[in-house]
Amino acid sequence: MIPHPELQAADFTPEPSTDSLEQLSRPSLSYWQDAWIRLKQNTRAIISLYLIIGLAFFTVLGPFLWTKDPSAQDLDQISQAPALPKTALLVSDYEPWTPPNVQGHPAEPAGYPDNLDAVTNFATVGTPNTQSVRFTWSPVQDAGGYSIYRSESKPNGLQGLGLPLETLTAGNIVGFEDRLNLKSQTYFYSIIPTDGLDEFEVVTTLKVTPVQSITVSQALERGLIEASDAPGRSVSLAFHPFGTDYLGRDMLARLMQGARVSLFIGVVAPFIYVLFGVFYGGFAGYLGGKVDQFLMRFADFVVALPFLLFMILFKIGFGIGPGESGVLPMLVALILLLWPSTARLVRGQVLKIREQGYIEAARLLGGKPSYLIARHIIPNTMGVILVTLTFAVPSAIFTEAFLSFIGMGVAPPTPSWGSMCNEGVKTMLSHPHELFFPALFISITVLAFNLLGDGLTEALDSKMRSRE
Amino acid sequence: MLKYTFGRILSGLVTIWFIATATFLAMHAVPGDPLMNEKATTPEIRENLARKYGLDKPIAEQYVIYLGNMVQGDFGISFTQQNRKVNDIIQDHFPVSAALGILAITFAALGGILWGALTALYRNQLPDIIIMFLVILGISVPSFVFAALGQLLLVNINQWFNISFLPVAGWGTFAHMIVPSLVLGLGTMALLTRLMRSSMLEIVNEDFIRTARAKGLSPSRIFFQHQLRNAILPVVTVLGPQIAAITTGGFVVELVFAIPGLGRYFVQAVQQLDYTVIMGTTVFYGAFLVFMVILVDIIYGFIDPRVRLK
């Protein structure tokens, strides 16, 4: 028998409180706060997010800051490459010009000459401008005429003279005026004396850079000058930072308006069909059984439809009336065809979550179906839905661009990035900027949404959460 | 396996019926009239034409006739080219699209597997970074831009070197097929590279790789025999849907490179509202795609025994 020790009240001192030990050392984070922190560590995703915000500003606020009318044509600057603001020389309206006629010089040579000298004193008259470039030269002895060529690159002797402009058939007419589609760029004019029939192998070349010019009546018509302004002064032309298209419409303004169309389709269509898919899939997954089987069978059929063919079929099925842009039919066709993928995904998620232990626990604690759906099932599928939505945007933008490119999309004159590419591809060789800018905007948008989607997938993956 | 195959084919047939019905309904919702462009100047001529094409019958009866003809493989006669059968059009133009598509998917699959394996081998090193940058570019740039750029490049190469390196457009020889099919396969190649990379990286962590390494297999044998062969499986799964993407994506390439394929013909038929050609090509394409997906699934069953056992 062990004797009991004598216990005093002092032996029972209370332990210090353990409350402080049980407190969390770091603040508790919700799923979304945690995902946001992980997303912020992903530089590429954050840059993409800023890009998307920038694009949204470009689309929404752009037209208020850059107020140029996207459908106004600037006829002075057609297919203009991106450049700084340009000025033009104000010249008087065109008046016919008579080339100088050298008195006493024979118009036709007496016989056929064996040799002709090259033309000398080949020079311009007045300021060469884009309205007209005028030349004169000294008459060549025994010449019966002159041939004039124009080239955009420097000719090599008699090679590469370029465009034959004119063949004069008199030796005493020593002037010529070029008014053929002149641009403000360097031209090489070549002149060859002839005996009235054949050209001789002597050439004189002159380098001319016409000044951008505008006539008084044109400038008045476009409101660029006052009626009192005299020719000779310079006039500043409309500024097109991104250049103009083949009808002289401002590219920047068109890109902004096109962004409205492209991004409207690209964002609204996925939003609606993902929402529909969530309800459809959630409904099927929650009810289960025969209803689920039937609903999903139907979704499978819709998935099997060849997507682009049916986009085109539905679009013409809805029809585009005169004056309509065709945005709405495309939106409806996208929604009709693309909802099943989200529905399948959400149904799978719901089926998985329904079997999870915490749902069972919540049900045992007396949670009603509506509570379970609202508190547990929907929040837990939100991550997957958000990722789907992010990836759905680029594919919708691609579809719009693709359809507009083959001429089945938005009807002109409504610009969209795809239809702008369609127009730009025709002048790709001579004016690459008309294809480059819309293609660049499509690529940047698609890239930003794809990278953001990648980032979101990683950030919202609950497996990653437990790894830390 | 036989039961599985049979079941898949049966459900495929039901899907084709659904496609045919949806096409029929969509076409009959189209505003306007296929006879609108005809020289149906008087009501009598219109009536005769309507009778000729069976358009005077009630819609349900038209549907039954349409399905009946389709079961017999008869898609009818073109509306705009009145002595040409839709079957003939498909026979003439589909082989062109198919040849282009097969070459494109070959490029895409080989390229995707090769680049994907390379990136996984050189993970986070220079080759990986370069290839993944190109992949992102391939996913983000629309196919028509690639088509235009490809053509531009060809023009320039032919000009600079003053040779006809490869034809810029048209159809006929193998040389005509190379650049269009590369352009067509580029997007898919980018997707497959990404997929291959992630699948390769997943497999590195598998137990059987560790076992292989532990029992002293050479790294190259582990790479080719164990890692690569297993990593290809997910790539094969997406090949079915990707064939669909490539065949329909062929429209743009056919338009840009002036290739007389079925895609270009379809776009033309839509513009002319050539009912029978639109319906015929849609159903034909749909059936083709459905069976392609089934074929890939069955092939998958042969490659991966785990699917067969299920």
Sole residue written with tokens 């949204």: A56
Please report the pLDDT score of residue B39 as a whole number: 57
Domain limits, chain B: 86-273
Q: Given A301, A306, A444, which is nearest B248 (Cβ)?
A: A306
Residues 6+ apart with CB under 8 A from A303: A340, A341, A344
Q: Is the pLDDT of residue B254 over 70?
A: yes
Residue A307 at interface with chain B, using a CB cutoff of 8 Å: yes
Structure tokens at B101: 């598509």
Structure tokens at B213: 């390494």
CB A100 within 8 A of CB A134: no
Residue A446 at interface with chain B, using a CB cutoff of 8 Å: yes
How far apart are the C-alpha atoms of A271 and A267, rounded to whole Å? 6
Residue of chain B minimizing CA distance to A318: B30
Q: A402: distance to nearest CA of chain B, Å?
A: 8
Question: What residues of A are in contact with residue B248 (Cβ under 8 Å)?
Answer: 306-309
Sole residue written with tokens 């946001």: A36
Contact A428 B148 (CB under 8 A): yes
Contact A304 B273 (CB under 8 A): no
Q: A392: distance to nearest CA of chain B, Å?
A: 13
Mutation site, B152, B270, B293, interface A, largest A CB count within 10 A: B270
Question: What residues of A are in contact with residue B278 (Cβ under 8 Å)?
Answer: 313
Contact B142 A317 (CB under 8 A): no
* Segment B76-110, tens digit of pLDDT: 777 777 678 888 888 888 888 888 888 898 899 99
Q: A304: distance to nearest CA of chain B, Å?
A: 7
Contact A306 B26 (CB under 8 A): no
Through-space distance between the first and last CA atoms of chain B, rounded to whole angstroms: 10
* Segment A107-118, tens digit of pLDDT: 777 777 778 888
Size of interface A-B (CB pairs under 8 A): 113
Contact B144 A402 (CB under 8 A): yes
CB B116 within 8 A of CB B195: yes
How far apart are the C-alpha atoms of A166 and A325, rounded to whole Å? 47
CB A91 within 8 A of CB A213: yes
Which residues in chain A come in under a pLDDT of 50?
466-468
Q: Tell me the backbone φ, ψ of residue A112, rounded to 5 degrees.
A: -85, 120
Please report the pLDDT score of residue B36 as a whole number: 62
Please report the pLDDT score of residue A467 as a whole number: 44
In this structure, the number of other CB atoms found within 10 A of the CB of residue A206 comes to 17
Question: What residues of A are in contact with residue B30 (Cβ under 8 Å)?
Answer: 316-317, 319
Cis (ω within 30 of 0) for the bond into A379? no
Q: B193: distance to nearest CA of chain A, Å?
A: 15
How far apart are the C-alpha atoms of B153 and B149, rounded to whole Å? 6
Residue of chain B minimizing CA distance to A401: B142
Query: Which run of H or of E encompasses A206?
Result: strand A204-208
Residue A405 at interface with chain B, using a CB cutoff of 8 Å: yes
Contact A305 B19 (CB under 8 A): yes
Position B35 confidence tier, pLDDT thresholds 50, 70, 90: low
Please report the pLDDT score of residue A50 as a whole number: 92
Greatest alpha-carbon pair distance for chain B in Å reads 87
pTM score, whole prediction: 0.78
Question: Which of A43-52, B222-231, B265-274 has the highest average model confidence (pLDDT)?
Answer: A43-52
Q: Give chain A's count of helices (H) and strands (E).
A: 15, 10
**3-class SS of residue B174:** helix
Q: Which CATH class is domain B86-273?
A: mainly alpha
Residue A394 at interface with chain B, using a CB cutoff of 8 Å: yes
How far apart are the C-alpha atoms of A137 and A143, rounded to whole Å? 13
Please report the pLDDT score of residue A24 as a whole number: 67
Q: Which of A210, A226, A232, A235 is nearest to A92 (CA)?
A: A232
Contact B252 A405 (CB under 8 A): yes
The DSSP annotation for B57-102 comes to S-HHHHHHHHHHHHHTT---B-SSSTT-BHHHHHHHHHHHHHHHHH
